Structure 1
Amino acid sequence: MFRERGIVMPFKSFESKSLHFINREMEEFELVFCVNEDDIVLIDSTRSGKSDSILSEFFSAFSDTGRLSSMLGIEDLSSIVLRASNGVRTDLACCTRAFGMPRYYLAKVEKNGCTVKIRFEELGGHSASEGRRNFLSAAFMKIVQNAPVAVTIKDSSSDSLWLNKIAKEAGFSTLSHEMTPTKESFVESLQFEGETKYFRSFVIDLKDKDSGFASVKYSIDISESEKAKRELRMSRNKIRRLHEVALELSKADTEEEVYDLFVNASCRILEFDVYSLDIVEGEDLVVKRVTNSVPDDGEERYSKYEGVAGRTLWQGKTLVFPDISKSPEARPRSSDYRSALSIPLGSFGVFQTISTELDAFDSEDIELAELLAAHVTEAISRIRSREEITRLTYYDPLTGALSRYGLAEYSAVEIEKSNRFSTPLSLMMLDVDDFKVINDSQGHMYGDFILSWVVESIKMVIRNSDRVIRWGGDEFLIILPGVAIEGAESMGKRILDRLEKRSLEEDVAATVSIGITEYLGEGDNIDGTIYRADLALHAAKNKGKNRLQVYEKKASK
């Protein structure tokens, strides 16, 4: 009885506040037709029971019933009028755009003498008396049954809800839920068949004069746009976290800090099941960090030329495995692991993440993982470059001992500790005996070997807290924090013994002479301490070399 394609639901933009159109004059009108056999002619149009020239002029533009039927939103108006002329009374509902915005009418078609009269009453203007309440509800339901939005109706005389076709398909419940009229639209979500759907809804009252007889909720499916918004918010949050991690990585002082930040950030940003960070050491890749999802058996290493990680490192590009089982080189720890992502960290190592789902990594996941890996690569490069600069600045490249630059910094720290805590601090000066003769007879390369060999022997004896410094040429200093002069003398003897033993075992002819002194406390300094150790060294050489001498005032005479 109404044209489905002509229906446009009210409040599509949720701008109107009720079903009443602003122009209240068109709440009621009548059309009168003359029927002569199959010829149907519109002869009059009235408002409030009176002929209206303006209205007649308006409808006269629709000269034939076909155009008038389309304008009123009534399917096959001719048949309805013809049936009425034969005494068949008809009630119908329609939606028309004839007056601008869509308006909804209930109409009665009946024979009136030799004419047929159709009386239209706008739905919102009906006097919904108790006797007509069911008729009005049924008529409105008929209008909105196939509407392109979800419609929920609650009759004020009942707690039950009526749903139109779209509402049922969307998964709205017939159980009671929020149906309070609202001034503003609102977003609601519902779970249906394991999927979350989002709707923008608006609730109004159908009026019975000054009181409502039904609440109607119109709901437009905005799932796609809402999901897009939520995904955008998630992406923005991930980007924000990525910037935060990048800042933290830029402040990291050690690679161990970088490893921890990397894996923690991966869990927060990428949100997959397993993460592994493998770093190149020599010819191997060493597993530095894994998530708790993978058993950690300690320091695990494997050839950097093998497996997925090896290929990633060799090719220097990201590898994506939508289905791990189809990659013969992949060796997953668990059959639950279905897809993987492997990203190179420059030449430093490989980052891998694994999912228990097939084809789990989309382009955004890959891009975020690559950005994160790039920040980590930069952090490792920065730390290693700084370490290399430090090594070149503070360490002797030949022997690995501290350089004179390193001496100034290290000795200042240890003297400050000695003064603050009143702890002893001793110093040795060591010289390779007849080193010029070794260079001249064996060559400078052999001389370089002897220097490195001596430092290596010294490090076999001293503690981790002690430092060897190359003072110049074949002379070395050894700073011994917390060691009194007696302990330094004992350590000096062990150094001589170690050199003698290694000389016999390795057929290396090299001996050293050692001068020993101690820091004298407040008023003393590193220059004075070195000077005294130098005097003691010369005294040892004057006594025959290959020996040690503790500084005494008489040693300077």
Structure 2
Amino acid sequence: MPFENFESKSLHFINREMEEFELVFNVNEDDVVLIDSKRSGKSDSVLSEFFSAFSDIGRLSSMLGIEDLRSIILAASNEESTDLACCTEVFGMPRFYLGKAEKNGCTVKIRFEELSRHLASEGRREFLFAAFMKIVQNAPVAVSIKDSSSDSLWLNEIAKEAGFSTLSQEMSPTKESFVESVQSEGETKYFRSFVIDLKYKDCGFASVKYSIDISESEKVKRELRISRNKIRRLHEVALELSKADTEEEVYDLFVNASCRILEFDVYSLDIVEGEDLVVKRVTNSVPDDGEERYSKYEGVAGRTLWEGKTLIFPDISKSQEARPRSTDYRSALSIPLGSFGVFQTISTELDAFDSEDVELAELLAAHVTEAISRIRSRGEITRLTYYDPLTGALSRYGLAECSAAEIERSNRFSTPLSLMMLDVDDFKVINDSLGHMYGDFILSWVVESIKMVIRNSDRVIRWGGDEFLIILPGVAMEGAESMGRRILDRLEKRSLEEDVVTTVSIGITEYLGEGDNIDGMIYRADLALHAAKNKGKNRLQVYEKTASK
């Protein structure tokens, strides 16, 4: 309580005696200062001490329950006397006062008189009630009055305009204000209301409800809640995108998040592939005309990608570039995803996108762009780490991971596993006589030929300059030997067709089971390879213990 430091005797005295008091204000331009407080026309030290806690005009206005005390005082200083009514709980319980603000010399005086005292002193209920009605008729708040002797309900002008019903309604006194909604011409308005009883000699004769329009405030609160929810969802999506391992996951998260955050009619996600934009995701409401790929230089999407900035179309029909799939589409938003693609959202309403929609969509697009960039960068790092950039074969780093997985699978399921080592015959002569660029061509050409023969599950690894390993999961020695012959045949056939004179030698071994490892397999395949070389090249040799002799 603001007066908790006062002695109980003083507080009791104030509670009991505050039937009539005056507040005196000094006005200097727009500066309003409380300079005195009086009871029965005389300054009172207890009262002054009490009101000093509320010397700030804003706090005093709130404490007295007056909508805009400053404006009333300024009006009175310009000799515009104002009658007012208020209800305040500052004296310990709800008490209703009639007041009058008027200029008094160089100051403004507001005289407050408790209504019950006013009624008791006059003894003329009808006259005073009529006077009260006159005051509240043009009050700046909605006022509803219900006579306790009947079900009649009286509304002032603002209450009528607000849409309050004239039908009988429950109007019990309340200790606290409450929020109620009123339907008026299809629009919902919100009011903060407070109900008190007006009494005459302890006999209730009317209930009065004061209602302040807080529709704008409630609207702002609702919009703020909606915005906060959207931001929260955006944050959640950003976390999910940061964990995505594939672009397909990113596409799904993007479109689903758009539906939850932006709440429009149509969403489309198109990704650049070569010279085209390819439709990766689109909402089910879009008519299917079979167009899943189109030039990245055409239409609204092409322009968005080329300009690298968000394009807003309040009315699609006025854009020559737009080719909407439905005549129901009225406005559109097109946002670039860096150089990766374009995100578009469409509404069936004209000018449907406000600044907040654009900002949220751009933030979402930025998170998606970052996720795609991260995944592609990681893929490129993986490719450079685990793959040979010249031939596309796995590198030595890739061999360790691949071989460990295949040996573990062979042990678990008791399946065969074979290994080839392949070497280009006389590769040094090719480099020295035809140049290193031609030598690089030969290496790529050999790997390409090998991949024409082996299965998708088989792996080619560049082991050295012109040496390659081929891991053959599930293939026994006989199958590996057969595949080796097919590789030699393919190279011979392509050499004749393409006039490329190149041969290879191949050494073959198999996994010997528990206790064996990739190093042992490579050692044995190398021995077999050298045996093939010693026998004249352009041939294969299966490892035997005598192969190295």
The interval holding the TM-score normalised by the smaller chain is 0.7 to 0.9
Deviation at 1:31, TM superposition (A): 22
What are the Cα deviations for residues 399-457 of structure 1, in whole angstroms up to 9, with x where unaligned?
01001111112111222222223222211111222322332333222221121112112
Aligned to 1:527: 519
What are the Cα deviations for residues 333-388 of structure 1, in whole angstroms up to 9, with x where unaligned?
11111111111111111111111221122222212211221121111111111111
Q: For 1:509, what is the secondary structure of its paired residue?
A: coil
Deviation at 1:283, TM superposition (A): 0.8
Deviation at 1:281, TM superposition (A): 1.0
Contact 2:84 2:135 in 1 (8 A): no
Counterpart-to-counterpart distance in 1, 2:73 and 2:378: 94
Counterpart-to-counterpart distance in 2, 1:45 and 1:66: 17
What are the Cα deviations for residues 154-208 of structure 1, in whole angstroms up to 9, with x where unaligned?
3334445332221221122334555332111122223333323221111222224
Counterpart-to-counterpart distance in 2, 1:526 and 1:518: 10
Contact 2:245 2:375 in 1 (8 A): yes
Going from structure 1 to structure 2, the CA distance change for 1:319 and 1:522 (only over 3 Å counts) comes to: same
Q: Tell me the TM-score normalised to structure 1 length.
A: 0.76
In terms of mean alpha carbon deviation, does 44-53 or 234-243 score higher?
44-53
Deviation at 1:234, TM superposition (A): 2.0
Contact 1:125 1:207 in 2 (8 A): no
Contact 1:106 1:139 in 2 (8 A): no
Going from structure 1 to structure 2, the CA distance change for 1:42 and 1:432 (only over 3 Å counts) comes to: closer
Q: For 1:360, what is the secondary structure of its paired residue?
A: coil
Counterpart-to-counterpart distance in 1, 2:412 and 2:525: 23
Contact 2:424 2:504 in 1 (8 A): yes
Going from structure 1 to structure 2, the CA distance change for 1:458 and 1:179 (only over 3 Å counts) comes to: farther
What are the Cα deviations for residues 58-115 of structure 1, in whole angstroms up to 9, with x where unaligned?
9999999999999999999999999999999999999999999999899999999999
Contact 2:2 2:53 in 1 (8 A): no
Contact 1:19 1:124 in 2 (8 A): no
Counterpart-to-counterpart distance in 1, 2:73 and 2:516: 122
Q: What are structure 1's unaligned runs of at least 5 residues?
A: 1-8
Going from structure 1 to structure 2, the CA distance change for 1:67 and 1:415 (only over 3 Å counts) comes to: closer
In terms of mean alpha carbon deviation, does 478-487 or 253-262 score higher?
478-487
Deviation at 1:460, TM superposition (A): 2.2
In terms of mean alpha carbon deviation, does 350-359 or 55-64 score higher?
55-64
Counterpart-to-counterpart distance in 2, 1:271 and 1:20: 58
Deviation at 1:280, TM superposition (A): 1.0
Structure with higher Rg: it is 1
Q: For 1:127, what is the secondary structure of its paired residue?
A: helix
Q: What are structure 2's unaligned runs of at least 5 residues?
A: none
Counterpart-to-counterpart distance in 2, 1:85 and 1:42: 14
In terms of mean alpha carbon deviation, does 538-547 or 274-283 score higher?
538-547
Contact 2:459 2:470 in 1 (8 A): yes
In terms of mean alpha carbon deviation, does 120-129 or 90-99 score higher?
90-99
Aligned residue pairs total 549
Going from structure 1 to structure 2, the CA distance change for 1:209 and 1:456 (only over 3 Å counts) comes to: farther
Counterpart-to-counterpart distance in 1, 2:403 and 2:185: 73
Counterpart-to-counterpart distance in 1, 2:134 and 2:349: 47
Aligned to 1:14: 6
Deviation at 1:304, TM superposition (A): 0.9
Going from structure 1 to structure 2, the CA distance change for 1:429 and 1:130 (only over 3 Å counts) comes to: farther
Contact 2:3 2:53 in 1 (8 A): no
Q: For 2:306, what is the secondary structure of its paired residue?
A: helix
In terms of mean alpha carbon deviation, does 394-403 or 405-414 score higher?
405-414
Contact 2:246 2:375 in 1 (8 A): yes
Q: Tell me the TM-score normalised to structure 2 length.
A: 0.77
Contact 2:251 2:280 in 1 (8 A): yes
Going from structure 1 to structure 2, the CA distance change for 1:371 and 1:526 (only over 3 Å counts) comes to: same
CA RMSD for the aligned pairs? 9.6
Going from structure 1 to structure 2, the CA distance change for 1:226 and 1:517 (only over 3 Å counts) comes to: same
The residue correspondences of 1:91-490 to structure 2 (distance < 5 A) are 123-125=115-117, 140-295=132-287, 300-490=292-482
Q: For 1:417, what is the secondary structure of its paired residue?
A: helix
Q: Percent identity?
A: 91
Going from structure 1 to structure 2, the CA distance change for 1:205 and 1:395 (only over 3 Å counts) comes to: same
Deviation at 1:50, TM superposition (A): 19
Greater RCO, CA 8 A, separation 6+:
1
